[in-house]
């Protein structure tokens, strides 16, 4: 039975971490599996879906727009879709909770359908800017009325037929790319997205799997993804691999806690998501891929991670798009490395669930780690493998990745670390503390 997640949790130092665990299904793939299944004609079957609050918000929204979505006792999700162009007018506002992915991608779907949808969210999501999605969708003809600063609550009035566009991403964002491509699904003609820097490609892979007419070309200006609109999607069976963003915390934990030996099963290793594995290996991490295979069109392996003496590095900037969600965990790894780690090129962190640069700096410094803040990252002075001081309470700022990253830091600290509010973890990793206890960690709830 999963532990409840009250507001406060205290993590105590661990002597070592050992065992085999399986992380939840990939959040990015789970969102897209529900959305595209809901646009296919017929029944799709999804196995391994992440059942966190963010993905459940997507499921609720697709139900509100006409799809039939059920979960059986064996955790298989079945989706009977309405077809491209068949989304129905929702009768109430779509509550996105804390999920930026749900919001931005669903805005894309609504933008080219003849319906109007209002998007609302929690305090954290309502503080996050949506302008980067509003701009291209407005160019396609959607009428979007947002709160000041381009924030939620906002209303999208779709245009059908919408106008196909060629859009060059000004920032490396898979969510913006995906929103435009999803809008292009119900738009006559060809919609194109040009990304100068490659981002995660789950949307392209899954659209192709559902039968969309989509092509990807590499040119001098970057990758051009083209989608032909008004094509029927075919139902399919999907197996969701384990989320590399969830595996990140255990890769770091096993690397920094002496004596640790952990196997993380069924981890997705899509090249556009595997930047943290590359960065940790550059730091000297002992990560071995066992039984590499392909599951649902995605590369997967079991990862064996053993404690290793990490060293500080200058993190290559070109890794940022493939590990943007994992930077908080990387900052924790850097806190235990020998020497200085410079992790920059990640200004996107400023507009996540929290300002992850500022919040992680404050959390690490409160627990004895020396940091220097930059506009696009942090420079961190490592402990050389020794425990950090710990002993402080961390403000999670309603950010699940801050809470989990600092929980991992508490496993190798001289004094316990307290997270003021662990409840956001349920958005992406409801079984996080169960796995912590499975591996030998100790947490107590306040």
What's the CATH class of domain 9-25+242-445? Answer: alpha beta
Query: What's the whole-number mean pLDDT along residues 261-290?
Result: 96
pLDDT at 354: 87
Among candidate residues 243, 325, 399, 421, the one labeled active-site is 325
| 330, pLDDT greater than 70 | yes
Q: How far apart are CA 426 and CA 57, in angstroms?
A: 12
Of all residues in the chain, the percent with pLDDT exceeding 90 is: 91
Q: Is 27 annotated as a binding residue?
A: yes
- pLDDT tens for 104-152 read 999 999 999 999 999 999 988 999 989 999 999 999 999 999 999 999 9
Q: Is 356 annotated as a binding residue?
A: yes
Q: Which stretches of 196-352 are DSSP H helices?
A: 202-209, 244-256, 275-282, 327-335
Q: Is 173 annotated as a binding residue?
A: yes
Query: What's the whole-number mean pLDDT along residues 342-358?
Result: 89
pLDDT at 297: 76
What SS3 state is found at 11?
Answer: strand
291 is catalytic: no
| 1, pLDDT greater than 90 | no
CATH 3.65.10.10: which residues of the chain? 9-25+242-445, 27-228
Q: pLDDT-based confidence at 6, cuts 50/70/90?
A: low
DSSP string for residues in 85-127:
T-PPPPSS-EE-TT-HHHHHHHHHHHHTSS-EEEEE--HHHHT
36 contacts 67 by C-beta, under 8 angstroms: no
| 4, pLDDT greater than 50 | no
- State the residue for tokens 């040009």: 194
Q: Which stretches of 140-274 are DSSP H helices?
A: 174-185, 202-209, 244-256
Q: Is 128 annotated as a binding residue?
A: yes
Average pLDDT over the chain, rounded to an integer: 95
- pLDDT tens for 22-79 read 999 999 999 999 999 999 999 999 999 999 999 999 999 999 999 999 999 999 999 9
- pLDDT tens for 91-105 read 999 999 999 999 999
List, in sequence order, every residue forming a beta bridge with 218; answer none if it has no partner: 223
Superfamily the domain 27-228 falls into = Enolpyruvate transferase domain (3.65.10.10)
């Amino acid at each position: 039975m999963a532990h409840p997640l009250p507001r406060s949790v205290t993590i105590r130092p661990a002597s070592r971490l050992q065992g085999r665990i399986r992380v939840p299904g990939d959040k990015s793939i789970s969102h897209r599996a529900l959305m595209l299944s809901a646009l296919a004609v017929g029944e799709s079957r999804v196995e391994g879906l992440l059942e966190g609050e963010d993905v459940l918000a997507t499921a609720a929204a697709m139900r509100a727009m006409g799809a039939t979505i059920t979960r059986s006792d064996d955790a298989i999700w079945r989706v009977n879709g309405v077809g491209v162009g068949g989304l129905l007018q929702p009768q109430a506002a779509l509550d996105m909770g804390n999920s930026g992915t749900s919001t931005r991608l669903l805005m894309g779907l609504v933008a080219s359908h003849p319906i109007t949808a209002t998007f609302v969210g929690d305090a954290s999501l309502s503080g996050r800017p949506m302008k980067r999605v509003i701009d291209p969708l407005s160019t396609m003809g959607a009428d979007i009325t947002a709160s000041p600063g381009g924030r939620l609550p906002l209303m999208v009035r779709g245009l059908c037929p919408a106008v196909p566009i060629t859009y060059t991403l000004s920032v490396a964002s898979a969510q913006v790319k995906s929103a435009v491509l999803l809008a292009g699904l119900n738009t006559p003609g060809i919609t194109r997205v040009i990304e100068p820097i490659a981002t995660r490609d789950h949307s392209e892979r899954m659209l192709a799997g559902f039968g969309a007419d989509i092509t990807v070309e590499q040119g001098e200006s970057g990758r051009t993804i083209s989608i032909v609109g008004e094509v029927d999607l075919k139902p399919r069976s999907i197996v969701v691999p384990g989320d590399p963003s969830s595996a990140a915390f255990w890769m770091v934990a096993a690397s920094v806690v002496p004596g640790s030996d952990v196997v993380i099963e069924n981890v997705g290793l899509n090249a556009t998501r595997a930047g943290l594995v590359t960065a940790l290996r550059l730091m000297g991490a002992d990560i071995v891929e066992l039984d590499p295979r392909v599951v649902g069109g995605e590369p997967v392996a079991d990862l064996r991670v053993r404690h290793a003496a990490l060293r500080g590095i200058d993190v290559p900037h070109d890794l940022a798009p493939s590990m943007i969600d994992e930077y908080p965990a990387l900052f924790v790894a850097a806190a235990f490395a020998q020497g200085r780690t410079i992790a920059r090129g990640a200004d996107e962190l400023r507009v996540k669930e929290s300002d992850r640069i500022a919040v992680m700096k404050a959390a690490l410094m409160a627990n004895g780690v020396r940091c220097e803040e930059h506009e696009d990252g942090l420079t961190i002075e490592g402990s050389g493998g020794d425990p950090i001081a710990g002993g402080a309470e961390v403000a999670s700022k309603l950010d699940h990745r801050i809470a989990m990253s600092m929980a991992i830091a508490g496993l190798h600290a001289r004094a316990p670390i307290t997270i003021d509010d662990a409840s956001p973890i349920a958005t992406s990793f409801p079984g996080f503390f169960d796995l912590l206890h499975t591996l030998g960690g100790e947490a107590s709830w306040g």
